[in-house]
């Protein structure tokens, strides 16, 4: 068997870090050799996530203690917070320029420095890398990803909205100025930070919207939708929190263009994704449940005719920690390292 | 103290029946003297809903065993299934014409026999009563309700959408052909019937849409919105199920008409509801959580400016069993029997 | 109508504070005139708990800003953290000695200074008050409570275990050295502090024990059980967390003494509680659900014969925020101020 | 690569059936060639469990339509209801005597026909097979299982209790007449049948016991515990339902024998399981969470010193659908077919 590639995970104490470990522990072609977590440095992964206690894994270390030049890493997953990421990756890629990187933060998703500065309130700290980074939606940018050194893994909300909408915008099959995306997320999307509004008793048995009217993720949608449509596209997008752990569920309201019916839209998507391993288009008129993709790398998409003529309702769902984050990151890694794209991420959803 | 009014509840073994008992047990001006539940006849209410075991309540009986003429009922809440309701109420009001009725089914909500026949697939069995029935949205039809003999209690989804939208449609402040209502419901909205898709393990930890493109509740919205707007209004409406017990949460996308801004819409609603005891409009820019109305008869409404100019996002939430069903039914009863409108339904929400 | 008594709530930003407000807002004989919350001073109660936004309530203030001597408070509920409580109440009762106090912390529950020092690791800061305080389990100490100035409201776990066990220990009907109490709690029992292990995603879809072998609440059980039995009683007690908001559920394993059968134990409890408004003993052989007491001040108790001869299984459940905290505190207040004991806390459980 | 073994699953429309499919779809040495589900015959697996829609699987057929003699099955998993199982397996093994069977029902777990008749109220319909069947707790009966034709897969509650207790009983390290097992289960343990008490709104936000004093699973515990101890052992066992999908969590109260301390008990278990791939004993004094074994085939065990001298509290947890049913069934299959025991069931738990 071929030698295993050496993998590092920066920021292993968060949920996306844990999900990476879950997936990579059983990936036949790689080996985890580095796990960082600054506040938990010196501890075992099993102290931070007890489910890993029975497995052999490297001890958690702080980022500062890593010598990039001699670390011998083939690929690094970066699951660090916004802004920190830019500094760390600049340092890493300067000292170990041959390392490949899949970055799970939002730091390298926007290719336009001006757009970045507008949405994040400061100039980008690693402009060269921003230029170099490839947007990691495999179903759209597979060819570029294979050759990329630095891949910006897309966000969970945005992956869930792009997979159904990009083929339709490219085909100019829908009106681009009447798109409404009503998105619902499970709580792991908010991370593992101890905040009052994320406590069990504040979340369970209830539902709410947040960031209404101006969520940061919109910049990523603006960029990719405009690129696909060949003109500026601005959508209405509202994120919500549902009392569940995993899942993004998007209900998307569109109007067909030049007589395109809901059935036409369905056909475009069905054809587009017929051979994609991680996108499944349901029969026309059916809509998916988030629970049926839980823990898997799948996106399920359904298209329904609205009762208002000319309008369609598209429903799209994925697991925010898998296809929405760590599973997609492994999919990117597989593409970058020349593995079979489904390796290590082909387990079916866990339902119930 | 004045004599207590004698109340019957038909269909007491469902969730809306239990919610009526919860509220009426502590209502100072009424007394529950009749509880029917055909399949549970002969049992105690505490056998069907153990939380009531410590309280004195009449034994459950079958509807057929009730002599309407001599039952001495001042008012009856009817929480029976669709269609059965028409037959039972026709019989009841023929034999005891002085009884007042609040019907919680959908049977008398549509005033147009043709609309009824279209959506329900058969002619109405009690056409005279359909004509007589008053639509029981107190905030809109208070005056008529006070004099009504038969009140059709609105549905939970529709109450949640009408309270924010009717004043805006009446004021011609929004475009009536671009309304999108994305609605989420807790599971009690689906009732207490033992169906596979309602099992805990089929529902928890997941999210889904249902009835996409053509839910029956739309007929009620069509009727009331068109009436308010003075012209035909047809909206996009998608219902979803969230893994929680109680709560309707509606995210509503609208476009202001003739330069009306989100702030203008907010002001119309704030003024409209300033004195209503059961509708609370949040400060502009804030949106409510369903958990903050749980168990109460309140509707919370928020209005936010969308980032797309001219568009606003309105969020509205209520408890489907209280303001969306039994609480609103008691509110109707209070109006019909001349009580203070908040009597018995003024408890604050139970959060957490 | 008699003038309303003036009530203060110290520590109103926690869950027990919110539950007190929920119950007192509709209590006919009292009026909330003071709400403190140090970190939220200056805010409205509706900012901290949005469900109260529609109601008129005093603004939150810091404790230091209150002049006890002139505050005119008839009774104060103290829902402050451990230790702080001692200092605050000493100050309050020195400056306003006529004020009555119901303390919801653990600070005054142990009457023995040595026991307190042992379990809490330091000497009590208000020894005189510790001596004066009456243990607030109304069903046991009603007479003393009526005359008390300072009542120590029992804990939720301990109330749930004491109500079934104290009558049995007093009657010497069970072996006192073979009692096992396996207790499960909803998350609100852990309060509203932002800690990682209390996040939704750390709690939902799982179950765990904590404090196994030596939970602090045991000292309270030791004291009351020993008093009831007339000799030292030490029980096995394990607390667990279940993924739900409200509820304590105790499964208690006992052995009958001198031939006492499970049925005998049931009869002792049924007779003891026949006239108590807030304790309901189910028919022999039946066991309660926590959901059927949710939001109410009830304790439901069931007794079952174990298949091992001579042994019985007793199941007891209550809502930790109501009978386990704020509801019992109001019950204490009602006794102290001479009101009907059920006033303001007689609403049935909210299920579903 | 060696040819894949041909596998059938009888009763594929239940949760254990779905869990088998989830695990076997990625098992390298087997291939699913038969799926039966009488009420769903003719449908696709993806109609019954939409998560499998993207995968190639045989269509569901009725059991009666299968020709056992010519089906060419190497091994069959039987996930049929009690009693039906006996008839079906008798027929199958008569017509295709070379087929191996792992039965997930309770039908072949009791080796004593009299014990069976007592607990199930009728004589066993396949007495010869009952005699032949091997009890499938791999950690105890591995050697026999490897040679067995018919393996009776243990129950979820009983696996969770046996793994910690059997080594202690064998070592005569605990008193065998003072064992209390307080067990909590997730809802999938109750299966997929549409019953009112299993509805989301009847289950969520609450906790309850059931079958108190005499649950059928006890017969299995009696048999295995008595065998291990070399004398009759009868334990107190109470099952409960927690509002979660997956997980068995057992809190076990024991007394050490002849001076054995909690630490001694811990050491016995740690040594016993040091090399077992699916049992992990936590460091002394720590207790596991059910969420940390979710979706994995692991059992986590913790041992703590009770504050009562001589007593210990043992906590044991597993996923009822994996190690408690289908994962253990695959573990049995691996042993029977000579595969590496961890094949296909070595994925880490999915948390969060």
Integer Cα distance of D249 and B348 in angstroms: 37
Categorize the per-residue pLDDT at A214 as very low, low, confident or very high, splitting at 50, 70 and 90.
Answer: confident
Does residue A13 contact residue A335 with C-beta atoms inside 8 Å? Answer: no
Does residue D66 contact residue D34 with C-beta atoms inside 8 Å? Answer: yes
* Min distance D292 CA to chain B CA atoms (Å): 16
Average pLDDT of A232-255?
98
Integer Cα distance of D206 and D241 in angstroms: 9
Which of C86, C90, C85, C35 is closest to C65 using CA atoms?
A: C35
Nearest beta carbon to residue C199 from set A199, A243, A244: A199
pLDDT at A25: 97
Cα–Cα separations (whole angstroms), residue A142 to A115, A159, A162, B300, C185? 24, 14, 15, 46, 50
Judged by a CB distance cut-off of 8 A, whether residue A112 touches chain B is no
Q: Which of B93, B156, B169, B228 is catalytic?
A: B156
Judged by a CB distance cut-off of 8 A, whether residue D98 touches chain C is no
Query: Do D206 and C291 lie within an 8 Å CB cutoff?
Result: yes
Nearest beta carbon to residue A195 from set C194, C201, C203: C194
Averaged pLDDT score across all residues of chain C: 96
Evaluate the CA torsion angle D279, D282, D287, D288 in order and state its sign.
Answer: negative
pLDDT of B1 strictly over 60: no
Average pLDDT of B199-222?
92
Which of C121, C63, C252 is closest to C174 using CA atoms?
A: C252
pLDDT of C141 strictly over 80: yes
Helix (H, G, I), strand (E, B) or coil at A13: coil
Q: Taking chain C, what is the end-to-end CA distance rounded to the nearest angstrom?
A: 36
Query: Do D180 and C180 lie within an 8 Å CB cutoff?
Result: yes
Q: Which residues of D touch B204 (CB under 8 A)?
A: 187, 200, 204, 243-245
Query: Do A199 and C192 lie within an 8 Å CB cutoff?
Result: yes
Torsion angles phi and psi, residue C347, rounded to 5: -70, 140
* Min distance B144 CA to chain C CA atoms (Å): 27
Judged by a CB distance cut-off of 8 A, whether residue A22 touches chain D is yes
Per-residue pLDDT tens over the stretch A24-49? 999 999 999 999 999 999 999 999 99
Nearest beta carbon to residue C292 from set B50, B298, B346: B50
Q: Which residues of D touch C184 (CB under 8 A)?
A: 184, 207, 240, 242
ipTM: 0.97
pLDDT of D126 strictly over 70: yes
* Min distance A43 CA to chain D CA atoms (Å): 15
Judged by a CB distance cut-off of 8 A, whether residue B326 touches chain D is no
H or E element, residue C124: none
pLDDT at D217: 78
pLDDT at A215: 73
Judged by a CB distance cut-off of 8 A, whether residue D202 touches chain C is yes
Q: Which residues of C touch A199 (CB under 8 A)?
A: 187, 192, 194, 198-200
Q: Which residues of B touch A207 (CB under 8 A)?
A: 184, 242, 244, 247, 249, 289-291, 317
Categorize the per-residue pLDDT at D279 as very low, low, confident or very high, splitting at 50, 70 and 90.
Answer: very high
Per-residue pLDDT tens over the stretch C267-309? 999 999 999 999 999 999 999 999 999 999 999 999 999 999 9
Cβ-Cβ contacts under 8 Å between C and D: the total is 152
> Helix C327-336 to helix C138-147 angle, to the nearest 10 degrees?
40
pLDDT at C215: 73
Average pLDDT of B98-104?
98
Per-residue pLDDT tens over the stretch D196-232? 999 999 999 999 999 998 777 789 999 999 999 999 9
pLDDT at D214: 76
Helix (H, G, I), strand (E, B) or coil at D338: coil
Judged by a CB distance cut-off of 8 A, whether residue D240 touches chain C is yes
pLDDT at A1: 57
Q: What does B155-205 look like in DSSP terms, one character per residue?
A: PHHHHHHHHHHHHHHHTT-B-TTS-EEEEEE-GGGG-S---GGGBHHHHTT
Average pLDDT of A73-98?
96
Integer Cα distance of B58 and B69 in angstroms: 19
Q: Where are the alpha helices (DSSP H) in chain C?
A: 15-24, 45-48, 84-95, 113-120, 127-132, 138-147, 156-170, 200-203, 218-229, 262-272, 327-336
Q: Work out the number of other CB atoms within 10 angstroms of the CB of residue B267.
A: 16
The domain limits of chain D are 5-132, 157-320
Per-residue pLDDT tens over the stretch A292-324? 999 999 999 999 999 999 999 999 999 999 999
Categorize the per-residue pLDDT at D1 as very low, low, confident or very high, splitting at 50, 70 and 90.
Answer: low
Q: Which residues of A touch C203 (CB under 8 A)?
A: 200
* Min distance D221 CA to chain C CA atoms (Å): 13
pLDDT at A319: 98
Q: Which residues of D touch C308 (CB under 8 A)?
A: 234, 236
Averaged pLDDT score across all residues of chain A: 96
Integer Cα distance of B144 and D168 in angstroms: 75
Q: Would you say domain B5-132 falls under CATH 3.40.50.720? A: yes
Mutate to test the interface with A, among D54, D286, D340 (most CBs of A within 10 A): D54
CATH code of domain D157-320: 3.30.360.10
Judged by a CB distance cut-off of 8 A, whether residue D180 touches chain C is yes
> What global pTM score does this model have?
0.98
pLDDT of C1 strictly over 60: no
Nearest beta carbon to residue A187 from set C188, C196, C201: C201
Helix (H, G, I), strand (E, B) or coil at B235: coil
pLDDT of D2 strictly over 80: no
Per-residue pLDDT tens over the stretch D40-82? 999 999 999 999 999 999 999 999 999 999 999 999 999 999 8
Query: Do D243 and C238 lie within an 8 Å CB cutoff?
Result: no
D87 half-sphere exposure, CB direction, 13 A CA radius: 7
Average pLDDT of C321-335?
98
CATH code of domain B157-321: 3.30.360.10
Q: In terms of C-beta density within 10 A (0-12 exposed, 13-18 middle, 19 or more buried), how is residue B311 classed? A: buried
Helix (H, G, I), strand (E, B) or coil at C167: helix
pLDDT at B252: 98
Query: Do A204 and C15 lie within an 8 Å CB cutoff?
Result: no
Averaged pLDDT score across all residues of chain B: 96
Nearest beta carbon to residue A194 from set C196, C243, C244: C196
Integer Cα distance of C124 and C103 in angstroms: 15
D95 contacts: CB under 8 Å, gap ≥ 6: D67, D68, D69
pLDDT of B189 strictly over 60: yes
pLDDT of A80 strictly over 90: yes
Per-residue pLDDT tens over the stretch D127-141? 999 999 999 999 999
């Amino acid at each position: 068997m071929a030698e295993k590639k050496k993998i590092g995970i920066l920021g292993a104490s968060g949920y996306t870090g844990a999900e990476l470990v879950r997936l990579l522990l059983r990936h036949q072609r790689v080996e985890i050799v580095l796990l960082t977590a600054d506040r938990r440095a010196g501890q075992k992964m099993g102290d931070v996530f007890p489910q890993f206690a029975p497995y052999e894994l490297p001890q958690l270390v702080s980022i500062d203690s890593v010598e990039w030049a001699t670390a011998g890493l083939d690929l690094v997953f970066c699951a660090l917070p916004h802004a920190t990421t830019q500094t760390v990756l600049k340092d890493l890629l300067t000292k170990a320029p041959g390392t490949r990187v899949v970055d799970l933060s939002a730091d390298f998703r926007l290719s336009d420095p001006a757009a970045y500065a507008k949405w994040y309130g400061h100039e980008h700290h690693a402009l060269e890398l921003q230029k170099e980074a490839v947007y990691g939606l495999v179903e759209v940018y597979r060819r570029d990803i294979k050759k990329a050194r630095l891949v910006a893994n897309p966000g969970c909300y945005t992956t869930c909205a792009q997979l159904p909408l990009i083929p339709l915008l490219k085909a100019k099959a829908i009106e681009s100025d009447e798109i409404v995306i009503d998105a619902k997320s499970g709580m792991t999307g908010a991370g593992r930070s101890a905040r009052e509004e994320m406590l069990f008793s504040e979340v369970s048995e209830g539902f709410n919207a947040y960031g209404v009217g101006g969520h940061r993720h919109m910049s990523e949608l603006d960029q990719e939708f405009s690129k696909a449509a060949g003109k500026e596209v601005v959508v209405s997008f509202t994120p919500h929190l549902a009392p569940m752990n995993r899942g993004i569920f998007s209900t998307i309201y569109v109007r067909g263009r030049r007589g395109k019916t809901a059935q036409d839209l369905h056909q475009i998507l069905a054809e587009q994704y017929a051979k994609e391993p991680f996108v499944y288009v349901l029969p026309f008129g059916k809509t998916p449940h988030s629970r049926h993709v839980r823990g898997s790398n799948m996106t399920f998409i359904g298209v329904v005719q609205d009762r208002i003529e000319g309008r369609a309702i598209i429903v799209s769902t994925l697991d925010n920690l898998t296809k929405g984050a760590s599973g997609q990151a492994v999919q990117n890694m597989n593409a970058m390292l020349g593995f079979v794209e489904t390796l290590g991420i082909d387990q079916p959803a866990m339902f119930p």
